[in-house]
Amino acid sequence: MDLQSGAAVALPELLIDSASDTSHHLDCLHFPLHNTTDSVMLQSSDNKTGRWSNLLLAYKTLGVVFGGLVTSPLYVYPSMHLNSPTEEDYLGIYSIMFWTLTLIGVVKYACIALKADDQGEGGTFALYSLLCRNMNIGILSSKSSDVNSSQSRCVLNEDNRQKSRLGKVFETSMVARRASLFIAMLGTCMLIGDGILTPAISVLSAMDGLRAPFPSISKSLVEALSAVVLFILFLLQKFGTSRVSFLFSPIMGAWTLSTPLVGIYSIIHHYPSIFKALSPYYIFHFFWRNGKEGWLMLGGTILCITGSEALFADLGHFNRSSIQIAFLFTIYPSLILTYAGQTAYLIKNPNDHMDGFYKFIPKTIYWPIFIIATLAAVVASQSLISATFSVIKQSVVLDYFPRVKVVHTSSNKEGEVYSPEVNYILMVFCIAVILIFGDGQDIGNAFGVVVSLVMLITTILLTLVMIIIWRTPSLLVALYFIIFFMMEGVYVSAVLTKIPEGGWIPFAISFILAFIMFGWYYGRQRKIQYELTHKIDLGRLGMLLSDPSVQRVPGLCFFYTKIQNGLTPILGHYTKNMRSLHKVTIFTTLRYLLVPKVSPHERIVVKKLGLRGVYACVIQYGYADSLNLEGDNFVSQVLDSLQEHIENCSSLPSDHMPVQEEISELSEAKTAGVIHVRGKARFHIGKSTSFFDRFMLAFYEVLHKNCRPALPVLGVPLPQCLEVGMFYEA
């Protein structure tokens, strides 16, 4: 999103501490003026959004949101460890899948989770940021996002003075705050693991359909073909999906409609009374007969709900109504009928469970279904790969992950991003999973770990939202938590037994990612802590500039700093060594708010700092925003905002400098040349530092050295960027 400029209004918020007698200059902040006409038109357009537009959006969700969920029949039954299954076993399994889809899919995600959006965004990070914005439990205080408040948030915060007991515990307990951060990080890591396993198991299961009509094709050849398909898919990522995305919904629509029709055919021909299994009696009977073995089978049954997290995570790309319509009226009935048809066939052919999908397809339509299944598996893989790119981008923006290159592959769709480093890492892992763990059961075991843990994390965070933000009655909260925590907890306990059989893959991936995220987060926080402790106030800056040996040279300098309540200590190091400061110096802070997007009219905040030619500028953005700070466009927009700020603040009694003279200085400085300066600090680790600090800071330095050079927080390369190095004492 390009920066916007316009007229300005004042807001009573300070960026720089005022320790000098020039504090009165800090009372006038400027935002570009909001275009009220556009706002009214947008609101009117939103009000006119009717059922036809929601139906169109619901159709589009088929190709983006539900790819992983609706293709799950390809691998659910082959992932189960069934030993001479009987009719009662299959009825019990289908009953479990029906109630899992109903309770978790319909009740939890479609009816509850979709309401816990963070200003339209969904997912683990959205839940965490929603909690952070309503309490002081995050790396930013909740007031950081006040500038982008919405009506719904005002409703949530109207009784903020009477916080719940649990909310107060989180605000005062460091353990509780770090636990919530760890849970959010773990959910993110598991979703990235999902981006590795979904392409592997989906494409492998679809390509396995070649073995039925051609028995001579070996399993190794199917694995090799699946690896080739994924290799090509990952190579095409750099071109984006805009040119082919219009095919996604028709492909998934054909899959969603064709499989339940085959299911109905199978029900009629094999076991018309299959729907008696909807009674929970068959679940209790299943566990009563099978005991521990029945419990272990849950590791495969959980895969019927795989991809359900996408209902919530992709909320920002659509809206609640469209996702609910698509799920309740197409996806959910399709899955119920497809699994019913598969189960009806397997009841009559109990030993075909290792190929439980293709065996129940009639021979006359085998090849059309095979083609649709392969295309649907590719679309499902693409959906999870794109979601992984989006999660990585949000993590980088929130400063939880080392900076990697993020490319926007579409000029029209902000959420369509691509990361070369992440793409090739995903490709290597996906192909390795197929070639090393080619058995569908082993990959299914690993997949079950990811699915169950992500659902459990969402349940925990949703419970916190109910208690702290929604103030839901205790009885309803207890009912929700007991049902879903126990249900998903049983699933987790079952899949954890599969760790030696492939389940260790997501644990290893998540542990490595979580360690990288925590190491980066720890190092960044230590650096911020040092800068806040050794920050330079305006009084000291005035003393530095009053030194006769420090010259004010022509030109415009953007000095980037991370801290918001003072000036970075690198400034003193820079001034003492360069013995100069540009005539117009703008201390620029990139400030991320715990909101998805910042309105364009609230993007730039500028103000005077009371010293001649010294200004402050804040560029604000949310975790779903994209920024372009390169070129003259950014410089011109900041200078335009400064000019309007100077004109509006010229009435201050102590502002003796003529307005036209000050504006003229801005123009002359830009003409003389623009330079961008950023600090590049490293830790000096002393002998007295604890072993933990030495290890974590050394690990952070390794990450920092090998990540992409960028401005603080956000990876935005700038032309003419001068780096100023400095050592911080650990």
Judged against a pLDDT cut of 80, whether residue 440 lies above it is answered with: no
User: Of the ranges 154-168, 231-245, 492-506, which one carries the lowest mean pLDDT score?
Assistant: 154-168
Condensed to tens digits (0 to 9), the pLDDT of residues 176-206 reads 777 787 788 888 888 788 778 888 888 988 8
Compare 143 and 308 and report the one with higher pLDDT: 308
**Does 560 lie in the same domain as 699?**
yes
- Residue 563 makes CB contacts below 8 A (sequence gap 6+) with 528, 531, 532, 535, 589
pLDDT of residue 712: 37
**Does 680 lie in the same domain as 579?**
yes
**Cα(328)–Cα(281) distance, integer angstroms:** 25
**Does 261 lie in the same domain as 172?**
yes
**Does 437 lie in the same domain as 414?**
yes
Assess if residue 263 is contained within a domain: yes
Stretch 653-679: mean pLDDT: 78
Question: Percentage of residues in the chain with pLDDT exceeding 90?
Answer: 20
**Does 492 lie in the same domain as 545?**
no
DSSP secondary structure letters along 576-612: HHH-EEEEEEEEEEEEE-SSS---GGGSEEEEE-SST
pLDDT of residue 347: 93
Judged against a pLDDT cut of 50, whether residue 593 lies above it is answered with: yes
pLDDT of residue 121: 74
Compare 635 and 153 and report the one with higher pLDDT: 635
Assess if residue 318 is contained within a domain: yes
Give me the number of domains the chain comprises: 2
Judged against a pLDDT cut of 50, whether residue 716 lies above it is answered with: no
Assess if residue 254 is contained within a domain: yes
Question: Is residue 700 within 8 Å of residue 519, measured between CB atoms?
Answer: yes
Judged against a pLDDT cut of 60, whether residue 20 lies above it is answered with: no
Assess if residue 12 is contained within a domain: no
> What is the pLDDT of the chain when averaged over all its residues?
77
Assess if residue 159 is contained within a domain: no
Domain boundary among 494, 522, 550: 522
pLDDT of residue 689: 63
pLDDT of residue 631: 58
DSSP 30: B
**Does 298 lie in the same domain as 213?**
yes
Report which residue type is found at 631: G
**Cα(263)–Cα(329) distance, integer angstroms:** 17
**Does 99 lie in the same domain as 75?**
yes
**Does 512 lie in the same domain as 569?**
no
**Does 621 lie in the same domain as 680?**
yes
Work out the pLDDT band at 723, boundaries 50, 70, 90: low
**Does 471 lie in the same domain as 375?**
yes
The number of angstroms, rounded, from the C-alpha of 404 to the middle of its chain's C-alpha atoms is 15
Q: Tokens 């309490």 appear where? A: 135
Condensed to tens digits (0 to 9), the pLDDT of residues 343-368 reads 999 999 888 888 778 888 999 999 99
Stretch 157-162: mean pLDDT: 47
Compare 472 and 694 and report the one with higher pLDDT: 472
pLDDT of residue 370: 93
pLDDT of residue 405: 78
pLDDT of residue 92: 95
* Residue 360 lies in domain: 51-141+164-522
- Closest Cα to residue 334, out of 399, 252, 395? 252
Work out the pLDDT band at 374, boundaries 50, 70, 90: very high
- Closest Cα to residue 516, out of 712, 699, 710? 699
Compare 95 and 469 and report the one with higher pLDDT: 95
**Does 473 lie in the same domain as 558?**
no
pLDDT of residue 41: 38
**Does 561 lie in the same domain as 508?**
no
Domain boundary among 490, 522, 554: 522
pLDDT of residue 329: 94
Domain boundary among 491, 522, 553: 522
CATH number for the domain that contains residue 430: 1.20.1740.10
Question: Percentage of residues in the chain with pLDDT exceeding 70?
Answer: 76
Work out the pLDDT band at 372, boundaries 50, 70, 90: very high
Assess if residue 157 is contained within a domain: no
Q: Tokens 């918001």 appear where? A: 564
**Cα(396)–Cα(592) distance, integer angstroms:** 11
Most confident of 44-53, 176-185, 452-461: 452-461
Assess if residue 17 is contained within a domain: no
Start-to-end CA span in the chain (Å): 37
Assess if residue 8 is contained within a domain: no
